[in-house]
Structure 1
Amino acid sequence: MQRSVQALLDKKAEKLVVLNLKTLNAFAEYFVLASATNERQCQAMSDAVELAMKAEGRRTYSHEGYSKGAWILLDYGDVVFHLFHEEARRFYGLERLWGDAPEETQAFTKTT
């Protein structure tokens, strides 16, 4: 997953957050949230995540919202990527909904 997080940063993702859902009995282990300044950037971020995950032998179970680009969801089972246009991110407020989840962004953005 670190490769995918780096791919998002390479595409200039804003407000990147990794939430650990393991202790919340959630359907996924991690949510990765990132914002884009426009729909095209959101689509480019989605493409970059898919390439990075494919390089690790992973494929999506579900891929939603690409054509509109306001909120793209990439479900890999244990990790779900939520890529938002900033307005959509504010509207849906996933950070508020999953506020009990520990944030682990730094663990996935460290460079070695």
Structure 2
Amino acid sequence: MNRTGRAGTVAGMHVAVTAVGADRPGIAAAVAKVLFDHGGNIEDSRMAILGGHFAMMLIVALPAGAETAALERSLDAPARALDLIVAVRPVAEVSAEHAEGTQYVVTVYGADKPG
């Protein structure tokens, strides 16, 4: 559901939003609030904690007329408050239903070795 209560998204653009910083409570909530305030809808996300650092990658649908520069400016305050590196980049829309090829998950276990 988008913020108007209707399923789907408004015709507009898609952006990739990334945020990386020391792991702490509130990062996802702060970024999501800014996206909501700009009419954004998170369509895909990946989040991970690596070595005490939190990383999030989001694909966000923005409404027609949205400005990425305005979104970046709005993300500056939470980025400073939470000591994050945040980036916003336009991306081409790719539907998972139309992605070509087979998807796999590979999990490897073993002793750590250099290289």
Q: TM-score, normalised by structure 1?
A: 0.43
TM-score, scaled to structure 2: 0.42
* More strand by percentage: 2
- Structure ranking higher in helix proportion: 1
